[in-house]
Amino acid sequence: MKKISFCLILVIMFIAGCSQDKKKNPLLLEFDTPFGAPPFELIEDKHFLPAFKEAMNLHKEEIDAIVNNQESPDFENTIVAFDNAGEKLTRISRIFGGLRSAETTPQLQEIARDVTPMLSEHSNSIRFNMDLFERIEHVYNERENFDLDKEQMILVEKIYGDFERNGVALPEDKRERLKEINERMSMVSLELRDNLLAENNNFKLFLEDEDEIAGLPNHVLSAAAEQAENEGKEGKWLITLDNPSRIPFLQYSDRRDLREKVLLAYVNRGDNGNEYDNKELFIELLQLRQEMSQMLGFNNYAEYFTDIQMAENPQNVYDFLDEVWEPSLNRANKELTQMQEIIDREGKDFDLKAWDWWYYAEILRKEKYDLDEDEIKPYFTIDNVREGNFILANKLYGLTFKERPEVPVYHEEVEAYEVFDNDGSHLGILYIDPHPRPGKRSGAWCGAYRMGHYKDGERIAPIVYIVMNFTRPSGDNPAMLSWDETTTYFHEFGHALHNFFAEGRYNRTSRSVPRDFVELPSQMLENYAGHPDLLKEYAVHYKTGEVIPDELIEKIRNSEHFNQGFIQTEYFAAAYLDMDWHTADITSDTDVNEFENNSMQRIGLIDEIIPRYRTTNFQHIFGPGYAAGYYVYRWAGVLDADAFQAFKETGDIFDQEMAERFRNYIMAKNSIYEGMDAYVKFRGNEPDIEPFLKRSGLK
């Protein structure tokens, strides 16, 4: 009797302890923070795994409740219930994913390796739940008999289509194999990204004497000295593979051998035959994608991806690439000739190589346009550029922004702003994370800790973040951005606006657009960054307070087509490489470098230009988001160039009526208009490619 009582006490204590753990886990509690922002100061790495497990259990219970509902399937008890299910899991996943990209730790990486197969298995248990699908299919088949509005009809069709694309209709043995494929693809994608982060962080070039720093401007040296000091190497200069370090070094360093070393270190990431080599993993991923696509009735993954995009099929993508490739390459060859002439004029006995391009392009810019990027940087401090984005959002849409230091952040460099709509109402929260860190992946991106949606008829405002890897402040100088960094800031801010404006009532339709449309709102803002009417508003010299002079604006605009041959060619080369991988028949014997070389030889890429991303560091295509879809940036470029032309045709690039149309059809009503349908609603006709070709210097 005593033993039984003692055991019972232990069980009760265990259950109580588990209950207390759940109560203490901030990820499982309602966020008692301003605007419901994640309580980053309370969240510890150890909280994620138990939170994921609990959230998956809750999600399973919600799915079971739908399946076991004795009432006949209808829109509310099946479609809406499914759309609302998994709210807590989604919230935790978004926080974890955001931190994994911007502020990862070895502990988070280990948790990701543990939780990824769990999430895949959990996802498979839902996407292949036949009882659940039968209810969804019933609503889909009877959808015309329900009193549904347009968005509700689209929601039914999208959810049903998701299940179909995921293979729910396959025979049981194939469904089981597809589960295995999904789980393995998730792990391989994770490993590819972790390897790339390690390769980025492991390269460190310390410069020690005057000869090694020849040609580097003071602001580059100052930043490099600070980086070296942070590594305990005071008196030296550190060059890394982060853009703010690597690119200025390639632009200005007189040491050709060191430029070669830095560039090759960058382009060979993941291809060094070490523990972080990505070649075998990438081949495995491509084979899995190929097998999955063929099981689902497609010849290859490119067909599977483009089937729901504006492009519709791979051939249309290739046709687009072919149309712009030749003029891009022709322009690049002209630029190559001009730079080789400089080398010959200097009496140097070598042919220009890839590691020379940035260096001689900078010399050519000064000679041809009398424009030194260091001359314009003082006008483009990071604060000025942020304000430029805020000013633009106000001029176009009437938005205002207020910094909110009380909102929790995950790193001291992150800023949080409340965003107000044109009527003064709360629109959302914006996090801005500007600078590189060892725990942050390369590049720039926008995401959301909470997507905008409606719950019980009430709008739930989005919590959005933009993350960059921009030049840091150095010494007494503020962070001064390059022109590329400036336009990137506008680009990511455009994605943020898209998130703020989306009006869909349901999670699945809130911001649902084809991948080759989603870059339109972001790239649209790039058109404004260098326009004189906006430059005069935000480009102010940080020392003198002088507004950027007309003479300098003229130089910037005269140089708009500078180096466009290189820029377009390296991009399109990567887009071809992506499509070639995802249309080819890949086997375990496929040699990554041989395939890549053959792909580039087929299109005639010159040796002096390397694709923007090589296979082993092509982060965009490691996950499903842009795989077979890297073309989308220039595809959307045709849209944004034509859309900006619409504003120019009004005589006012800030035209309020045109801005309202853009907000309404392109960003807000994605739940009922998307792709070309949305664009034609905005513009009145399909886009003309001419503005894109002219803007890109290809015509």
Contact criterion met (CB below 8 Å) for 175 and 168: yes
Contact criterion met (CB below 8 Å) for 323 and 315: no
C-alpha span between 195 and 617 (Å, rounded): 9
Interval 447-453 mean pLDDT: 96
List the one residue out of 561, 585, 581 whose CA is nearest residue 573. 581
Q: What is the pLDDT of residues 572-598, one digit of tens each?
A: 999 999 999 999 999 999 999 999 999
pTM: 0.94
Which CATH topology does 377-558+632-695 take?
Answer: Neurolysin; domain 3 (1.10.1370)
Q: What is the pLDDT of residues 456-488, one digit of tens each?
A: 889 999 999 999 999 999 888 999 999 999 999
Give phi and psi for 286, each to the nearest 5.
-65, -40
The owner of tokens 């190589």 is 353
Contact criterion met (CB below 8 Å) for 52 and 119: yes
53 - beta bridge partners? Answer: none
Question: What's the 3-state SS for 622-645?
Answer: CCCCCCCCCCHHHHHHHHHHHHHH
Point out the least confidently predicted range of 104-113, 308-317, 367-376, 532-541: 367-376
Q: Which long-range contacts (CB under 8 A, 24 or more apart) does 684-691 make?
A: 687/638, 687/639, 687/641, 687/642, 687/643, 688/642, 688/645, 689/323, 689/638, 689/642, 691/641, 691/642, 691/644, 691/645
Percentages helix, strand, coil for the chain (3-state, rounded to 5) are 60, 5, 30
The answer to whether the Cα torsion of 225, 229, 231, 232 is positive or negative is positive
- pLDDT at residue 512, as a whole number: 85
Instruction: Enter the tokens of residue 482.
Output: 């390059």
Contact criterion met (CB below 8 Å) for 258 and 205: yes
In this structure, the dihedral spanned by the alpha carbons of residues 15, 60, 189 and 484, taken in order and rounded to 10 degrees, is -100
Residue 457 burial by Cβ neighbours in a 10 Å radius (0-12, 13-18, 19+): exposed
In this structure, the dihedral spanned by the alpha carbons of residues 585, 587, 591 and 594, taken in order and rounded to 10 degrees, is -20
- pLDDT at residue 23, as a whole number: 62
User: Residue 473, Cα to own-chain centre: how many angstroms?
Assistant: 24
CATH 3.40.50.300 fits 2-127+129-165, yes or no: no
Residue 15 pLDDT greater than 50, yes or no: no
Q: What confidence category does residue 659 fall into, taking pLDDT thresholds of 50, 70 and 90?
A: very high
User: Residue 500, Cα to own-chain centre: how many angstroms?
Assistant: 17
List the one residue out of 679, 462, 512 whose CA is nearest residue 155. 512
What is residue 576's three-state secondary structure?
A: helix
DSSP 323: H
Interval 655-659 mean pLDDT: 98
The owner of tokens 């942020």 is 386
Instruction: Enter the tokens of residue 413.
Output: 């460099």
- pLDDT at residue 1, as a whole number: 41
How many residues comprise the chain?
A: 699
C-alpha span between 386 and 466 (Å, rounded): 11
C-alpha span between 611 and 284 (Å, rounded): 22
Contact criterion met (CB below 8 Å) for 59 and 89: yes
The residue type found at 114 is D
Domain with CATH 1.10.1370.40 in the chain: 2-127+129-165, 377-558+632-695
List the one residue out of 255, 485, 321, 501 whose CA is nearest residue 397. 501
Which residues are CB-neighbours of 58 under 8 A, at least 6 positions away? Answer: 86, 88, 89
Give phi and psi for 272, each to the nearest 5.
-115, 10
- pLDDT at residue 147, as a whole number: 96
Q: Is 235 left (phi over 0), alpha (psi -120 to 50) or beta?
A: left
Contact criterion met (CB below 8 Å) for 367 and 604: no
Interval 168-183 mean pLDDT: 96
The pairing of strands 458-460 and 453-455 is antiparallel
In the predicted model, what is the mean pLDDT of the chain? 95
C-alpha span between 684 and 554 (Å, rounded): 33
C-alpha span between 110 and 488 (Å, rounded): 31
List the one residue out of 644, 673, 641, 657 whose CA is nearest residue 502. 673
**Where is 416: in which H helix or E strand?**
strand 415-420
Q: What confidence category does residue 511 fall into, taking pLDDT thresholds of 50, 70 and 90?
A: confident
C-alpha span between 396 and 418 (Å, rounded): 18
User: Residue 294, Cα to own-chain centre: how many angstroms?
Assistant: 28
Which residues are CB-neighbours of 565 under 8 A, at least 6 positions away? Answer: 328, 329, 330, 331, 332, 333, 334, 335, 697
Contact criterion met (CB below 8 Å) for 461 and 358: no
Q: What confidence category does residue 21 fall into, taking pLDDT thresholds of 50, 70 and 90?
A: low
C-alpha span between 620 and 571 (Å, rounded): 12
Instruction: Enter the tokens of residue 46.
Output: 């150890």
Residue 16 pLDDT greater than 80, yes or no: no
Give the number of other Cβ atoms within 10 Å of residue 532's Cβ: 15
C-alpha span between 116 and 645 (Å, rounded): 45
C-alpha span between 287 and 282 (Å, rounded): 9
- pLDDT at residue 372, as a whole number: 85
Q: What is the pLDDT of residues 661-688, one digit of tens each?
A: 999 999 999 999 989 999 999 999 999 9
User: Residue 469, Cα to own-chain centre: how many angstroms?
Assistant: 12
List the one residue out of 508, 673, 610, 667 whose CA is nearest residue 163. 508
Residue 7 pLDDT greater than 80, yes or no: no
Q: What is the pLDDT of residues 44-82, one digit of tens each?
A: 999 999 999 999 999 999 999 999 999 999 999 999 999
Q: What is the pLDDT of residues 364-398, one digit of tens each?
A: 999 999 988 888 999 999 999 999 999 999 999 99
To the query of whether residue 492 is one of the catalytic residues in this protein, the response is yes
Sheet with strand 426-433: strands edge to edge: 400-403, 415-420, 426-433, 463-467, 445-450
Which of 103, 485, 492, 503 is catalytic? The answer is 492
C-alpha span between 465 and 416 (Å, rounded): 9
The answer to whether the Cα torsion of 340, 343, 349, 355 is positive or negative is negative
